[in-house]
Amino acid sequence: MSKLTIAAIGAALCCISTQALAHATFDRAEASQDRSDRGALRVPHGCNGHATQTVRMTIPEGVINVKPMAKAGWKLETDSGPCARSHTLWGKPVSEGVKDVIWSGGNLDDAHYDAFVITARMTDALHPGLVFSPTVQECATAQARWTEIPAPKQDPQALKSPAPSVIILAQNTQSGGHAHGAAHATAGFVKAGPLVIEAAWTRATPQGARVAGGYMTITNTGSTPDRLIGGSFPLSGRFEVHEMAMTNGVMTMRELAKGLEIAPGSKIELKPGGLHVMFLDLKSQVREGQPVRGTLVFEKAGTVEVEYRVAPIGARAPAGGHAH
């Protein structure tokens, strides 16, 4: 897997555009440094109408502790080799690991869809940005090679057969002084009835990214609950409310189909690695330092306009803020 100063969260985990569904992609858009994660490679079709019999996934440098999931009817193999540099996992050195994962002997019809799952550890050797995992589907008489990696500043969507990719996010860091008195947080203060929305922000995306995340703090000062059920972001085609959580040591993400409840007297923080909103099917880049106005839709408070400040690619907190 190669890397490009970043992208898409593409982070892949996450819904993607109709065009991207014609390609092999990951189910999630992003992963974080120094965390274990789960990813599913989505194979949407065969090779020129033929059934897929083998799937070969290349693991990028900097990804360790790879554990692929066995699939009924498929033979599972891995190829291992030395790491370019030594890593540390749970206090022990790691100098070699899985380089390729191969599922073979199956028969995935061209008209059908399936996913091939791995769990792995993202090390700090993966710099914030897009990382690519070249993948090859082998059929009886043809191949589908998802192996193209964009050159610097090239739009990944311009590639005919792009390698599956995810966005690597920087691990939590503390820089500068403490943001006392919420001076930064109140820069984006919005009030809608009993609801107070503060410090809405998002991250810049690289060219070609298909998703981005939105973060903020929502306080319910009233005596009755409300619920965040949707919204809009002018640079994206869709808006969803998501939750990320650790499950058995692995980070998972899911859409909150019924929205996010804001209980009376509660203060909810939407942040990287936790609750957040997702901007899907991006139409253009989100650019650092260029605020974007969008809306949040609540069950009772209705539609509320907010302005998202745009932090650097891979940021864990808004510019000038603190990642707690």
- Assign domain 181-311 one CATH number from 2.40.100.10, 3.30.390.30, 3.40.50.300, 2.60.40.1890: 2.60.40.1890
Q: Coil, helix or strand for 21?
A: helix
Tokens of 98: 């899985």
The CATH homologous superfamily for domain 3-169 is: Uncharacterised protein YcnI-like PF07987, DUF1775 (2.60.40.2230)
- Residue range(s) in the chain whose domain bears CATH number 2.60.40.2230: 3-169
Residue 174 reports pLDDT greater than 60: no
| Whole-angstrom distance, CA of residue 291 vs CA of residue 272 | 18
- Determine contact, residues 6/167, Cβ cutoff 8 Å: yes
- Residue range(s) in the chain whose domain bears CATH number 2.60.40.1890: 181-311
- What is the structure's pLDDT at 157? 67
| Whole-angstrom distance, CA of residue 58 vs CA of residue 302 | 47
Type of residue found at 192: A
pLDDT digits (tens, 9 = 90+) for 112-164: 999 999 999 999 898 877 889 999 999 999 999 999 998 876 767 678 899 99
| Whole-angstrom distance, CA of residue 247 vs CA of residue 263 | 25
Residue 57 reports pLDDT greater than 90: yes
**Residue 20 binned pLDDT confidence (cut-offs 50, 70, 90):** very low
Backbone CA torsion sign across 204, 213, 218, 299 = positive
Sheet holding 165-169, edge to edge: 3-4, 129-132, 165-169, 30-32
pTM, two decimal places: 0.56
